């Protein structure tokens, strides 16, 4: 690559990274690693670690790029999202389609390198990641479907290690689904007026912003209960429960940052606070499995 072409390539790479929010991998990836460690009952093999990581990153890239493509016209009309690279024209639709296709191929290869069940279920996961963005056009429960998109991670990692599935990773996935749905409900409360005027659907639009906040709090309580249930079912050591308690405290702090009447702090700090939940659970799991 010539020196003249290099800056252009790096600029496109930066745009792609910003559009699919690579930094937000910290939401689901630690939960995937939690599922992987629990499935291995300790350290997975390096091969499993590498291919689970590749599968998770490529699946997230597929889902995010498909989301941006499907919602590009909505995003361009929404004042909050009109600056996104695809919506504003800084990236072109064929470029995002190419990224989606590459991510899908890498995802299937990674699944194949793990085991037969992972490969068999990969098309189901990929289809769900591509289809769920349409939900906001038809049903108020779109945030719950987003939650289950992120919830694929721990169960998929478990399957990647064991080649089978049981109730433990499903309960962990339920915790992720509840936690992610809670966050998404609060986040899209910002779009209440736009959704109402555009005929789109959300929990806030269906039940009102105040009720949406109450639902989000209830979902976080259930998420922590599911996390504790995983610990009990797997006879986890005490550091795991300390992690659950810290995660609960972080979620309480999250709810103190915003209110139905003040959404001004629904920004970077809010995102980071949610990321601390998955990181806390993962670190606590690591300590419980490898140290105690």
The answer to whether residues 86 and 19 touch, using CB atoms and an 8 Å cutoff, is yes
Query: Band of the pLDDT at 127, cuts 50, 70, 90?
Result: very high
Average pLDDT of 110-124? 97
Whole-angstrom distance, CA of residue 158 vs CA of residue 280? 19
Does the pLDDT value for residue 23 go beyond 80? no
pLDDT tens readout for residues 37-77: 999 999 999 999 999 999 999 999 999 999 999 999 999 99
Whole-angstrom distance, CA of residue 104 vs CA of residue 58? 7
Query: What DSSP character marks residue 262?
Result: B
Does the pLDDT value for residue 271 go beyond 80? no
The answer to whether residues 229 and 222 touch, using CB atoms and an 8 Å cutoff, is no
Phi, psi dihedrals of residue 165, rounded to the nearest 5°: -135, 150
pLDDT at 12: 76
Strand-pair partners of 259: 262
Whole-angstrom distance, CA of residue 190 vs CA of residue 215? 16
- For residue 140, give every residue at least 6 positions away whose Cβ sits within 8 Å of its Cβ, in sequence order, or none: 201, 202, 203, 205, 206, 207
Taken in order 140, 173, 53, 284, the sign of the CA dihedral is: positive
pLDDT at 139: 96
The count of structural domains within the chain is 1
CATH of the domain at 78: 1.10.357.140
Mean pLDDT of the chain: 92
Among 82-96, 114-128, 249-263, the range with the most confident prediction by mean pLDDT is 114-128
Cβ-based neighbour number of residue 271 at 10 Å: 16
pLDDT at 9: 66
pLDDT tens readout for residues 161-210: 999 999 999 999 999 999 999 999 999 999 999 999 999 999 999 999 99
Query: Band of the pLDDT at 7, cuts 50, 70, 90?
Result: low
- For residue 203, give every residue at least 6 positions away whose Cβ sits within 8 Å of its Cβ, in sequence order, or none: 140, 141, 143, 185, 188, 211, 212, 215
pLDDT at 13: 79
pLDDT tens readout for residues 233-269: 999 999 999 999 999 999 999 999 899 998 888 876 6
Whole-angstrom distance, CA of residue 87 vs CA of residue 91? 8
Average pLDDT of 148-158? 95
Whole-angstrom distance, CA of residue 212 vs CA of residue 121? 33
- For residue 185, give every residue at least 6 positions away whose Cβ sits within 8 Å of its Cβ, in sequence order, or none: 143, 202, 203, 204, 212, 215, 216, 219
Does the pLDDT value for residue 2 go beyond 70? no
Model pTM greater than 0.85? yes
The answer to whether residues 36 and 161 touch, using CB atoms and an 8 Å cutoff, is yes
For residue 3, the number of C-alpha atoms closer than 13 Å in the C-beta half-sphere is 0
Domain range for 66 is 5-290
Whole-angstrom distance, CA of residue 87 vs CA of residue 215? 31
Does the pLDDT value for residue 36 go beyond 70? yes
């Amino acid at each position: 690559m010539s020196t003249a072409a290099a800056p252009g390539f790096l600029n496109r790479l930066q745009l792609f990274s910003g559009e699919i929010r690579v930094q937000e991998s910290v939401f689901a990836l630690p939960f995937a690693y939690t599922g992987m460690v629990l499935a291995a009952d300790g350290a997975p093999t390096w091969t499993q670690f590498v291919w689970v990581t590749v599968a998770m990153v490529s699946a997230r890239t597929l889902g995010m790029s498909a989301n941006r493509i499907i919602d590009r016209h909505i995003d361009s009309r929404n004042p909050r999202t009109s600056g996104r690279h695809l919506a504003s024209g800084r990236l072109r639709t064929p470029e995002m389609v190419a990224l989606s296709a590459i991510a899908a191929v890498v995802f299937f290869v990674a699944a194949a390198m793990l085991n037969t069940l992972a490969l068999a279920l990969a098309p189901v996961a990929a289809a769900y990641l591509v289809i769920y963005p349409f939900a906001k056009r038809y049903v108020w429960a779109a945030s719950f479907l987003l939650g289950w998109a992120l919830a694929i991670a721990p169960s998929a990692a478990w399957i990647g290690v064991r080649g089978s599935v049981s109730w433990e990773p499903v309960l962990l996935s339920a915790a992720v689904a509840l936690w992610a749905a809670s966050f998404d409900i609060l986040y899209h409360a910002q779009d209440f007026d736009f959704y109402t005027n555009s005929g789109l659907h959300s929990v806030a639009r269906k039940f009102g912003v105040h009720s949406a906040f109450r639902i989000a709090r209830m979902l976080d309580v259930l998420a922590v209960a599911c996390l504790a249930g995983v610990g009990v079912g797997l006879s986890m050591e005490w550091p795991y429960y300390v992690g659950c308690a810290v995660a609960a405290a972080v979620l309480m702090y999250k709810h103190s940052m915003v209110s139905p009447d003040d959404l001004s702090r629904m920004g970077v700090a809010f995102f980071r606070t949610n990321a601390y939940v998955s990181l806390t659970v993962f670190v606590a799991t690591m300590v419980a499995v490898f140290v105690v």
